[in-house]
Amino acid sequence: MIKKITIVGIGLMGGSLAMQCRSKGIAAHIIGVDENPEHASDALSMHLVDEVLPLDDAIATSDVIVLTVPMNALVGLLPSVLDKVKQQVVLDMGSTKNILAKSVDAHANRGRFVATHPMWGTEYSGPRAAVEGAFENKAVILCDTEKTDADALDFVKDLYRKLNMHIIEMNAVDHDLHAAYVSHISHITSFALANTVLEKEREDKAIFEMASAGFESTVRLAKSNPDMWTPILMQNKDNVLDVLNEHISQLRKFKSCLEKENWDYLKELMLHANQIKRIIQ
């Protein structure tokens, strides 16, 4: 069991991690660090954390420091945390990896850091969004593990195994490309779909009376927090642009079928899309 774990940023990810550390007996003592006083107070009152400490005090007393702040804050925070660690393990849970990895490539304590991305989340944020049972049976990506000390890597693998996660290793460059396809583009399509329909709603308030479950499913990510998603898309700009261009060109194929009344090709496009059944059940 981990003696003391520090979680920096007790929001959706950090709060859910704290909850699982508690319920699975992964850590004996959970320390929270959060710049937002309301989040810190909620984390204490919800008993997600045992105490809230200033960052430096928390680092000094902990075995492991988990960074779960938005990507823009993370890139500034990680080097300064590595400056202060000795034998502690540091990991992040951020959605992009390449810029973050580069920021500490030459750091003397690089070996203490493990770059991770648990493929779990919801469209909500803050400690009150924390979910019991989060992470369970999901994948977690560990990046550039050859740059990590063996003991730190083992420590983090053990942590994720206790969360019942499936560990995948890949380099940061591949990670960011794949994340653009299986996560970031989904958020952009949802945001854009919400704006498409909200635009129409300006002239026609009745439109949402008939919103279906299918609509809810495709648009729910549009509720996601822009403070979290702006830096993710910034840091993965090139990959996201490539996928977005491909997606727009796929949509144009549907548009062209409708315009030309090419119903055979329309059906063919949908039959091809059905192959996604191989991937998601």
Of 45 and 249, which CB lies nearer to a copy of itself in the complex structure?
Answer: 249
In degrees rounded to 5, what are phi and psi of residue 64?
-145, 140
Closest CA to 121 of 227, 193, 241, 17: 17
Q: Which two tokens stand for residue 66?
A: 């988990």
- Cα(54)–Cα(278) distance, integer angstroms: 48
| Choices 26-34, 61-69, 101-109, 135-143 (CB under 8 A): range interacting with a copy of itself | 135-143
| Choices 14-22, 79-87, 156-164, 196-204 (CB under 8 A): range interacting with a copy of itself | 196-204
- Using DSSP's 3-state secondary structure scheme, residue 135 falls into coil
Q: How far is the CB of 189 from a copy of itself (least distance, A)?
A: 5
- Cα(119)–Cα(109) distance, integer angstroms: 26
| Residue 192 interacting with a copy of itself (CB under 8 A) | yes
What character string, x for contact with a copy of itself (CB under 8 A) and - otherwise, covers 150-189? ------------------x-x---x---xx-xxx-xxxxx
| Residue 216 interacting with a copy of itself (CB under 8 A) | yes
Per-state percent for the chain, helix, strand, coil, to nearest 5: 60, 15, 25
Half-sphere exposure in the Cβ direction for 262 (13 Å, CA): 12
Contact 55, 80 (CB under 8 A): no
Residues in 51-80 at the binding interface with a copy of itself, rule: CB under 8 A:
none
Q: How far is the CB of 123 from a copy of itself (least distance, A)?
A: 8
- 124 membership: H or E segment, kind and range: none
| Residue 199 interacting with a copy of itself (CB under 8 A) | yes
Residues in 93-132 at the binding interface with a copy of itself, rule: CB under 8 A:
119-123
Of 1 and 211, which CB lies nearer to a copy of itself in the complex structure?
Answer: 211
| Residue 87 interacting with a copy of itself (CB under 8 A) | no
